[in-house]
A and B are shown apart, each in its own frame.
Chain A
Amino acid sequence: NAGVTQTPKFQVLKTGQSMTLQCAQDMNHNSMYWYRQDPGMGLRLIYYSASEGTTDKGEVPNGYNVSRLNKREFSLRLESAAPSQTSVYFCASSIQGRSNQPQHFGDGTRLSIL
């Protein structure tokens, strides 16, 4: 069982470059999420998609865009990368966007912006 798959696992960008992080889940989940993890700050929600066709901003959406391509896939795009976006990015999914449902995480994308 693959669960949540993120690509790529590592990436180095130059300031101003653009990039799309890919995420796919095979658990037939309705809700998907993008987080960033920074030392000492835990996980912060960037965007989420409660169901196919909908997306909403989280705590730190500035500098990012998302696309819920279909039920399985949820991508995160950096249009013009900045050093402050150096982080580890995690995609997660849950059965539905209900508070008692746990989220399932991918292994992360480690992104460095020079």
Chain B
Amino acid sequence: AQSVTQLGSHVSVSEGALVLLRCNYSSSVPPYLFWYVQYPNQGLQLLLKYTSAATLVKGINDFEAEFKKSETSFHLTKPSAHMSDAAEYFCAVSPGNQFYFGTGTSLTVIP
């Protein structure tokens, strides 16, 4: 069975600090991986996706994620946090025609 684990349901960073949100997946074969962001009272928006073309994936708003097969990880990073980055972030894996989402990480940015 496929699954996604997001370590840390809540992460707080200072404005301007590095953002690191962790995601590990379990899969028998390298899957396709996604990061989504959800702002309050909105649906999920795609940040970036890994589809095996390159292990370092760049997304919107300076977010990026690195696929590490040996660690079965797909962690999301951003060099400098902005107040507008405060939101819920979801990692998802897609081994077939379904998506499996992690439980989400709520990011708080401290001014």
Contact = CB atoms under 8 A, between A and B. Distances in A.
B97 A90 contact: no
Q: For this complex, into which size category does the number of interface residues on chain B fall? A: 20 to 34
A45 B99 contact: yes
B90 A90 contact: no
Contact of A98 (B45, B97, B102): B97
Q: Which 5 residue pairs across A and B have the least CB separation, nearest first?
A: A105-B43, A97-B97, A99-B94, A42-B103, A42-B101
Interface of B: 9, 31-32, 34, 36, 41-46, 49, 51, 90, 94-99, 101-104
Given A90-B44, A106-B43, A107-B42, A43 B90 contact: yes
A106 B104 CA distance: 18
A103 B32 CA distance: 12
